[in-house]
Structure 1
Amino acid sequence: MHRPWPYLLAALLAGCSFALAAADYRAPVSHDDGWPVADARAVHLDTAPFAALEVRLADGSYKNITSILVARDGKLVYEHYFNGGDAEHLNDVRSASKSVTALLAGAAIDRGLIPGVQAKVYGFFPDKQPVQHADPRKQAITLEDLLTMSSLWECNDENEFSSGHEERMYVSEDWLQFALDLPIKGFAPWMSKPADSPHGRAFSYCTAGAFVAGAVVERAARMPLARFAAEALEKPLGIEHAQWNTSPLGIGMGGGGTRYRSRDLAKLGQLALDEGRWHGKQVISAAWIRAMLGVHAQARDDADYGYLWWCFRKPVTGIDEPVWAMGGNGGNYVFVVPSRQLVAVITSTAYNQRYAHPQSQEILREYLLKAAQPGR
C-alpha cells in the first residue's frame, strides 16, 4: 500500500523531532544542595523514554505535571519542570506528607523519645481524657496501628459517611480531640475483620490517624513537629526550605499538606532507598527503614501498606517487584524502586482529578522504568 507523500513527510518530521529530542537530553545542573549529578547514560539509563515522555507532556496528553526527577545509583540524572513548576517551588504534596511523618516517628524512636511502635497512643494525651465513646479497645490502640492505617477507630476517608472522615475533622477546632473521641468501628458482614485480613490488620485510610501519629511525635519530642522535622530530618539532608501546616490549635499536621522542593523530595526517597543514610551518615536507623518499608497491611487488591508508605507491585511494573511510594492527592509521588536503585519524583497539581494517580503511575511504568530496564 502506497502512502501519500504528506503522510510520509509527517512521519519523517516526527522521526526527526524524536531524534532531536533524544539528542537534547541534558543532565541536571549541579547545585550546592548535596545532590551529585550525572549523565543518565553513565548510569545505564536509556534517554529515549525521557524524550518520548516530553513529547506527551508538550502535546497535553499528560496534564498538570509540574516536575519529574529521576535519581539512579545515588545520582540525580533527570530533572525537568513543566506548567509553571521550578526548582525553588515548594510543592504541596498533600498526603505524601504522611510518609514523612513515618520517618519522624522512626527518628523519635531512634532517640528513645518513644519506646517503640507498640506504645499506646492515648497515654501521650492525658489532658484529652476522658474521651467520648470510652472503650478498653481504644486505650489499646498503638502507634503501629496508626502507622498502618489499621486502628479500630471508625475512620475511613473513602466513605463520606464515616464518623472520622477527614473533612469532618477539618471543620472542628480540636482535631486531636476529634480523633481521640472517635467510636470503635463495626464490621458489616461484607467487611473483613482484622483476624480474617492479610497480616491480621483491616486497612482503612484515615488521615486523622496520621495526624495523631504526628501529634504523638510532637508530644514525645516536646517541640513543634516542624522543628523536630528540621532538626532530625531536614537539616541532616540539607533541606533548607519546607513548609508545615498546623491544626487550628497549633498541632503539627502530620497527615498532609507539607511542602518541599522537588530535589528535596528526591532526597527523602534516596534516604529510604539507602536504608536511612545520606552521604554516608545514618540519619534514620536502618532498622526503622526496613520496618517502615515492610508490608504490614493489604490496602487494596493492587497495593500493600507499610508504615504510612504505599507498596505497589505488578500493577505498576508488570513484574513482581516492589515499588514503594509516598503518594498524595493530585498525583504527587516519590517512588522508590529498590530492584533498579531508582528514585523518581512526580509533582502535579491535578488535585481531586480522577486521572491524577493513574497518570503519574503510567508515567513511571511506561517511561521512567523503561529507561531503567533490567540489564541496561
Structure 2
Amino acid sequence: MADDLLADFVRADRERGLGTYGIHVHREGHEPVSHRFRSDDRVNLYSVAKTFTSVAAGLAEAEGLLSLDDLFLDHFPELRPVAADGFERVTLRHLLTMTSGSSHHWSSYERVDPADLLREFVAAPLEAVPGERFRYVGSGPYAIGRVIARTSGADLRAYLEPRLFRPLGVHHPAWHTCPLGFPFADSELFLRTGELARFAQLILQGGEWQGRQVVPADYVRRIAAEKVSTAPVAAWGPQFSDGYGLGVWLGGDGTFRMDGAYGQFVVIDPERRAAITVTAHFERSGDLLTAIHELLATL
C-alpha cells in the first residue's frame, strides 16, 4: 500500500531530479506512509522554523506571558530611545505576520555583525505603517523569540523543550543562535523528516497529541485564519500569492504550509485531513511543491 501510494511521487523525484531526502504522509484514519531517499538525518528546516516560533508565541499567550496585541516596545522599554519613528506602534502580531513595516533586512544565513541584532532591528527606519505591507524577513520572528525569552526566562528552544519537543518525542534538537545566545527563530532549527512529521500531525489535529492538548486548539485554528495579503511578493510565484498567516503560507485551495528553503515543506490539507512532510535539497523548490500537491490530489 505504501509503495502504491508514493509510487508516482518517487517516480517524479527520479525523473525531475527533485532532490528529496524523505517524505511522510499522514492521513487521519490511515496508517502513516513514508519513503526515504537517504538516511533520516537532522537537516536545517530553514523557514519552517518560523511556524515553531509562532506556536511558541501561542503557548506563551495561553500562559498569560504575552498577547499578540502587545506593543513590542512594552516588552523592551529600554529600546525606546533608539526606536525608529513609528516603531512604537509595532505589535507582536505584526512581527509574526511580517507586517512590521521595518526596512531592516536580515535572514539567519547572514552573519550577525551588530552587538545586538534586536537593537539594530528596532532602530531601522520604517518604510510602511505597521500592519499595511508584507515584507518577508527574519527579523520579526527573531524579535518574537527575544520576547519569549524575556517573558518566560527561557530562550526559545528551552521554552519549547518541555512544552512541545518532549511531548512529541523530539530529543534535544539543535537550533543555531545569534552571538548573544538566542535561537535565530526564523531558521536554523534541525530536525529529521519523521520528527517534523509529528509536528505536522499535531497541527492537523488541532494541537492534540496522543490524547493531550499540547498546543491550544484556538491558536492552531488562528495560524491559518489570521491572514495578511502577500501582494508585494506575488511575483515570486503563484504559491506565494494567497496570503500569509501566523508563520505559515496559505494556499488558494484551502491548504496551508510551512515552507523552508531548498524544499523543506509541510503541506496541511484540513479538508482531506492529511499532512505531507518533505525534507530535501532542491534549488527549484516550486517544482517539488507541485509534486507534493499532485500527491495530495490522489489521497
Same fold (TM over 0.5): yes
Does the aligned pair in 2 maintain the 1:241–1:261 contact within 8 Å?
Answer: no
For residues 71-90 of structure 1, the aligned pairs below 5 Å read 71-73=26-28, 75-82=30-37, 84=38, 86-87=39-40, 89-90=41-42
Which SS does the other structure have where 1:284 is aligned?
A: coil
Structure 2 CA distance for aligned equivalents of residues 174 and 230 of structure 1: 25
Partner of 1:197: none
Partner of 2:202: 271
Paired residue total: 290
Does the aligned pair in 1 maintain the 2:95–2:140 contact within 8 Å?
Answer: yes
Q: CA deviation at 1:77?
A: 2.3
Does the aligned pair in 2 maintain the 1:98–1:254 contact within 8 Å?
Answer: yes
Which SS does the other structure have where 2:229 is aligned?
A: strand
Q: CA deviation at 1:360?
A: 2.1
Partner of 2:8: 52
Structure 2 CA distance for aligned equivalents of residues 232 and 292 of structure 1: 18
Partner of 1:107: 59
Q: Does 1:150 align with 2:92?
A: no
| Equivalent in 90, 101, 126 of residue 184 of structure 1 | 126
Structure 2 CA distance for aligned equivalents of residues 285 and 218 of structure 1: 20
Partner of 1:369: 296
Q: Does 1:334 align with 2:266?
A: yes
Deviations 1:185-227 (A, max 9, x none): 15xxxxxx77xxxxx6321112111110111111111112111
Partner of 2:248: 309
Q: CA deviation at 1:312?
A: 1.2
Which SS does the other structure have where 1:339 is aligned?
A: coil
For residues 133-148 of structure 1, the aligned pairs below 5 Å read 133=84, 135=85, 137-148=86-97
What percentage of aligned pairs have identical amino acids? 26
Structure 2 CA distance for aligned equivalents of residues 241 and 132 of structure 1: 36
Deviations 1:318-372 (A, max 9, x none): xxx311111111111111100100000111122xx2x12x122111122x21321
| Equivalent in 57, 63, 76 of residue 125 of structure 1 | 76
Which amino acid in 1 is paired with 2:243? D
Structure 2 CA distance for aligned equivalents of residues 212 and 76 of structure 1: 39
> Alpha carbons of 1:150 and 1:169: their partners in 2 closer, same or farther (altered >3 Å)?
farther
Deviations 1:96-129 (A, max 9, x none): 1001000000010111111x11111112223444
**Higher RCO structure, 1 or 2 (CA under 8 Å, sep 6+):** 2
Which is further off, 283-292 or 119-128? 119-128
For residues 1-376 of structure 1, the aligned pairs below 5 Å read 25-26=1-2, 47=4, 50-59=6-15, 61-73=16-28, 75-82=30-37, 84=38, 86-87=39-40, 89-114=41-66, 116-133=67-84, 135=85, 137-155=86-104, 164-166=105-107, 170-186=112-128, 201-300=132-231, 301=234, 302-313=241-252, 321-350=253-282, 353=283, 355-356=284-285, 358-366=286-294, 368-372=295-299
Structure 1 CA distance for aligned equivalents of residues 29 and 61 of structure 2: 26
Which amino acid in 2 is paired with 1:69? H
Which SS does the other structure have where 1:290 is aligned?
A: helix
Superposition CA RMSD, Å: 2.0
Greater C-alpha radius of gyration: 1
Gaps of 5+ in 2: 235-240
Structure 2 CA distance for aligned equivalents of residues 142 and 75 of structure 1: 41
> Alpha carbons of 1:269 and 1:168: their partners in 2 closer, same or farther (altered >3 Å)?
closer
Deviations 1:54-76 (A, max 9, x none): 223234x1332111110000655
TM-score (norm 1): 0.72
Which SS does the other structure have where 2:69 is aligned?
A: coil
Which amino acid in 2 is paired with 1:55? R
Does the aligned pair in 2 maintain the 1:242–1:261 contact within 8 Å?
Answer: no
